[in-house]
Amino acid sequence: MKKIMLGNEAVARGLYEAGCRLVSSYPGTPSTEITEYAALYPEIYAEWAVNEKVALEVALGASVAGGRAFSCMKHVGLNVAADPLFISSYTGINGGLVIGVADDPGMHSSQNEQDSRHYAEAAKLPMIEPSDSAECLEFTKEAFELSELFNTPVILRLNTRVSHSQSVVETAERKETELKKYIKDPSKWVMIPANARPRHQVVEKRICDISDYAENCVFNKTEIHECTSIGIITAGPSYNYAREVFGDTVSYLKIGMVYPLPINTIREFASRFERVIVIEELDDIIESFCRQAGLTVEGKNLLPITGEFSQELLAEKILGKAADYDSFEEPVPPRPPVLCPGCPHRGVFYVFKKLKLYVSGDIGCYTLGAAPPLAAIDTTFCMGASVSALHGYNKILPENTKKSVAVIGDSTFMHSGITGLANIVYNKGISTVVVLDNRITGMTGHQENPCSGHTLKGESTAEIMPENIAYALGVKKERVVTVDPADLAEVEAALRRELEQDEPSVIVARRPCALLKYVKREAPYAVDREKCRSCRACMSIGCPCISITNGKAEINQSSCAGCALCMQLCRFDAIIGGNTQ
Amino acid sequence: MTGNIIQKQTKNIKNKNIKNIMIVGVGGQGTLLASRILGNALLAYGYDVRVSEVHGMSQRGGSVVTYVKYGEKVYSPVICRGEADIILAFEQLEAARWLSHLKKGGILITNTQRINPMPVVTGAAEYPGDITDKIKAKGISLIAADAQSLALSAGSEKTANVVLIGVMTKYLGVDDITVEKTIRELVPARFLDVNMKAYELGRNISAGSVK
Ligand SMILES: Cc1ncc(C[n+]2csc(CCOP(=O)(O)OP(=O)(O)O)c2C)c(N)n1
């Protein structure tokens, strides 16, 4: 059947059709929907793991048991999963194992722009890269065949434009696969030096064999157009941009298996043209490979290493054709994302700012607390780093311990904050950690996590409380406090008290995300214009519902979620309504 | 050993035949649903279609843009500056922001709604005045509609996105029956009536009610 599907949905469809049995992933834009769509198929067991390392290990275990398995993550997630990634290359697989990784050139929603292809080369694993939804489906299915043919995990590389674009696919039926029998074989599965040495030889031979296979594989396509003097070597979404700019006026070698690269195919293709241009987003991996093979190619001399490509960029950089357009002449103010109306994170950042704290930040919706007017975050590195980096900061500047906190979301705490907290307790740290427990993974669009009480498949399950984890790690019972972030006075009192202590504290600010379906929307507040003195105190929390209209504060009635923060800040009782009526 | 060579006869696919539509707005306004309705309608009409959307910040009030492209064969899912045949803006400031993407001679359809971005709320920046007049003064075909009021009269302010789809279909040159059918497919049954009403109101907007 013909349909338009998101790239991510097509990957999930590919998993289904390939007879994949298990999917374990951790969310991360732009990869998240693959796992969400996979979970809709009753034939696939799908789960949110606590982090990417765990996810990939779960999938590896499923492969050992003989089932086809899949794990996916965003590009930085592969850093977290790098340990099992490299070792799975040595062990190989039993049931087919495919690892999805989604890069984000242009950083639409990421903290860096790393090129995942380096992992394929470093771990010596084949990597394939689709350029539209039809290929997402086809390549996912083929990836399992490749995995089982060469006894290797296969990496499926995606990208924001491929994952989040819809294009036409044709679906087929699911093909069930037999479970492969597990046979005890320590020489393959127990990676101690004595076994790993011979396995390394296997890995080297395997990647040579796959290089031969790459010359004739279904993933790479040569598209020769008559009378063309330019040959373009490209991969992934860049192929689409090139196709739109050059049409049939050039010929293409579209690489679908980006590692290992097909040396003979490339040589043969390059030999036909006067000019060969490599068009690849991010690093110059294909280009360097061509150069090493002694070929004369162009690429990064014309095109940037940073950012996302487009047809406009290719037309400008390669053809020297500038876009022709009109634009609005006055400055257009930016529209940055903001914490939602009623977001439980907002008040906590207000108090951080009020107390002038050094805030060791983390990754999640709450990173928006770095934006004005709250502007309350000092650092943001990678998931979990708030807790561990604060410990280092406080070891160097002990006098600042009473003026500093780490702030981390529930999903992020489960992902990699727990280990940092153990490190603080063990190493006699005295840091204060604030867990913003909104009972969901908010940033990536509401995924269940160990704190939310539900699995990906919607079943109810144990709800893990960060407080209990803190006790178990050795934080004293009286140093673990739970507050309601909607109550500014309570948050402030808890912070003032815990910052004074000479031992580690954990403050759990618990209130479910305002966008969760089960959260009842409270009645909106309004401004009594007579009483409003235009002091702008209510504006200091960065609420998108409050503005100054004709000199007085005004609250947008259709968007106000009734969180009452502004009411708590008004010294003139000018904010009325909400639940007080 | 040369891979799979597909020797294509030069069919001369005309990029000119591809139509580019951009839907821009503010997170939470329903631009994603609008682009999906449109994409599916165009597929049903027999076109090759690509729809591109950037997720992530869509719920958090940021600027959101989706691209819908259709034609005989579409490759790139994105629309660049000077390429859009139609821009459908759900908010005025977003119309101004993305104006550069309009093709010379293209049509800009904008909702008259105004949503202040945070820098305007905090007073760090100013919301430009008379946006639609300034755009018209440049000789650009602009259609402005008060989608909020029309949506309210349809029964729910939330259907403003469907009102705007209705306004736009007149300029698509696509049989509207297929659009109605996709609305039926993509909108939950209990909201179907208001949405169909909203669509009709948008579609029947008369030259007089267009500002
Ligand atoms: C290693 C890694 N994996 C995944 C992500 C994507 N990501 C960003 S924030 C986040 C989780 C945020 O959830 P939570 O900590 O509960 O905070 P919330 O957004 O709900 O406030 C995820 C999964 C990432 N940035 N890095």
Q: Where are the domains of chain A?
A: 2-214, 221-319, 346-510, 525-580
- Mutational test site, ligand 1, from A411, A433, A513, max ligand atoms within 8 Å of CB: A411
Distance from CA of A310 to the nearest CA of B (A): 7
pLDDT band at residue B55 using 50, 70 and 90 as cut-offs: low
Chain B residues in contact with A336 by the CB 8 A cut-off are: 62, 117-119
pLDDT value for B81 = 98
**If you average pLDDT over every residue of chain A, what do you get?**
97
Select from A2, A165, A443 the Cβ nearest to the Cβ of B77.
Answer: A165
Query: Structure tokens of A1?
Result: 């059947």
Note whether A280 and A255 are within 8 A (CB).
no
Is there an atom of ligand 1 within 6 Å of A410 CB?
yes
Would you say residue B3 has pLDDT above 70?
Answer: no
- Mutational test site, ligand 1, from A75, A349, A412, max ligand atoms within 8 Å of CB: A412
pLDDT value for A342 = 96
pLDDT value for A87 = 98
Would you say residue B152 has pLDDT above 50?
Answer: yes
What are the distances in angstroms from CA A376 to CA A351, A359, A505, B182? 9, 7, 20, 45
The pLDDT > 90 percentage for chain B reads 58
Chain A residues in contact with B51 by the CB 8 A cut-off are: 4, 165-167
Between chains, do A544 and B134 touch, taking CB under 8 Å as contact? no
Q: Which of the listed CATH numbers 3.30.70.20, 3.40.50.720, 1.10.10.10, 3.40.50.300 matches domain A525-580?
A: 3.30.70.20
Least-confidence region, from B12-16, B87-91, B121-125, B132-136: B12-16
Would you say residue B207 has pLDDT above 60?
Answer: no
User: B130 Cβ partners below 8 Å, 6+ apart?
Assistant: none
Is there an atom of ligand 1 within 6 Å of A441 CB?
yes
Provide the CATH topology of domain A221-319.
Rossmann fold (3.40.50)
* C-alpha span between A82 and A123 (Å, rounded): 9
CATH number for the region A346-510 comes to 3.40.50.970
How many CB pairs (< 8 A) connect A and B?
221
Q: Whose CA is nearest to atom 20 of ligand 1?
A: A442
Would you say residue B14 has pLDDT above 70?
Answer: no
Mutate to test the interface with B, among A332, A338, A513 (most CBs of B within 10 A): A332
Distance from chain centroid for Cα B6:
36
Select from A4, A225, A253 the Cβ nearest to the Cβ of B39.
Answer: A4
Residue ranges in chain A modelled with pLDDT below 50: 581
Distance from CA of A422 to the nearest CA of B (A): 31
- Pick from A199, A115, A196, A197: nearest CA to A157: A115
Distance from CA of B134 to the nearest CA of A (A): 8
* C-alpha span between B93 and B182 (Å, rounded): 29
Chain B residues in contact with A29 by the CB 8 A cut-off are: 55-56
Superfamily of domain B2-209: Pyruvate-ferredoxin oxidoreductase, PFOR, domain III (3.40.920.10)
Between chains, do A244 and B5 touch, taking CB under 8 Å as contact? no
Fold equal for A221-319 and A346-510: yes
- A145-168 pLDDT, tens digit each: 999 999 999 999 999 999 999 999
pLDDT value for B53 = 87
Q: Where are the domains of chain B?
A: 2-209
**Three-class DSSP category at A401:** helix
Q: Whose CA is nearest to atom 10 of ligand 1?
A: A364
User: Which ligand 1 atom is the nearest neighbour of the CA of A413?
Assistant: 15
- Pick from A36, A546, A549: nearest CA to A339: A546
Sheet of B4-7, strands arranged across: A275-279, A230-235, A251-255, A221-224, B4-7
Q: Whose CA is nearest to atom 1 of ligand 1?
A: A77
- Beta strands at A480-483 and A505-510: parallel, antiparallel or unpaired: parallel
The pLDDT > 70 percentage for chain B reads 86
Beta-carbon count within 10 A of A396 CB? 7
Note whether A298 and B36 are within 8 A (CB).
no
Least-confidence region, from B59-68, B121-130, B189-198: B59-68
What are the distances in angstroms from CA B69 to CA A166, A325, B72? 10, 19, 10
Chain A residues in contact with B56 by the CB 8 A cut-off are: 29-30, 108-109, 443-445
Distance from CA of A341 to the nearest CA of B (A): 9
Distance from CA of A162 to the nearest CA of B (A): 9
Supply the DSSP string of B126-178, one letter for each residue: -PPS-HHHHHHTTT-EEEEE-HHHHHHHHT-GGGHHHHHHHHHHTTTTS-HHH
Is there an atom of ligand 1 within 6 Å of A450 CB?
no
Between chains, do B82 and A325 touch, taking CB under 8 Å as contact? yes
User: A46 Cβ partners below 8 Å, 6+ apart?
Assistant: A22, A23, A24, A25, A35, A38, A39, A456, A457
pLDDT value for A322 = 96
Is there an atom of ligand 1 within 6 Å of A80 CB?
yes
pLDDT value for B4 = 40
pLDDT value for B62 = 87
Chain B residues in contact with A333 by the CB 8 A cut-off are: 93, 117, 119-120, 124-127
Note whether A570 and A538 are within 8 A (CB).
yes
- Beta strands at A97-103 and B102-111: parallel, antiparallel or unpaired: unpaired
Is there an atom of ligand 1 within 6 Å of A27 CB?
yes
* C-alpha span between A372 and A329 (Å, rounded): 26
Ligand 1 centroid–CA A412 distance in Å is: 6
Is there an atom of ligand 1 within 6 Å of A412 CB?
yes
Superfamily of domain A2-214: Thiamin diphosphate (ThDP)-binding fold, Pyr/PP domains (3.40.50.970)
Is there an atom of ligand 1 within 6 Å of A364 CB?
yes
pTM: 0.95
Between chains, do A165 and B59 touch, taking CB under 8 Å as contact? no
Mutate to test the interface with B, among A133, A136, A166 (most CBs of B within 10 A): A166
User: Which ligand 1 atom is the nearest neighbour of the CA of A451?
Assistant: 16
Mutate to test the interface with B, among A161, A165, A353 (most CBs of B within 10 A): A165
Residue with the bigger pLDDT between A311 and B56: it is A311
